[in-house]
Amino acid sequence: MYVCLCNGFTDKQVRVAGGTSGCSVAAVYRSLGVQPRCGKCVPTVRDILQECRGGVCDDISEDAFAPA
């Protein structure tokens, strides 16, 4: 699912970028090479990172960056 329409990234991309322990919202954007524009996606990115900290995202691979 698309998380950010302004920058065109998905929840899978956020999970891969946020896979490192203690990863921040800002680090996810940097990893994806984008900056928040309207900011509506920031809470969703934060929620996904919280899921990842719970171990939910451990099995997501780099192929999440492949076009859908």
Which pLDDT score is estimated for 20?
65
Which pLDDT score is estimated for 34?
95
Q: Of 27, 25, 15, whose CA–CA distance to 52 is shortest?
A: 15
In sequence order, what are the residues at sequence separation of 6 or more whose Cβ sits closer than 8 angstroms to the Cβ of residue 24?
Answer: 49
> What is the phi-psi region of residue 3: left when phi exceeds 0, alpha when psi lies from -120 to 50, beta otherwise?
alpha
Q: Which residues are bridge partners to 2 per DSSP?
A: 10
Which pLDDT score is estimated for 21?
54
- Tell me which H or E stretch contains 67: none
From first to last of its 68 residues, the chain has per-residue pLDDT tens of 999 999 999 999 999 998 765 689 999 999 999 999 999 999 999 999 998 877 656 544 444 444 44
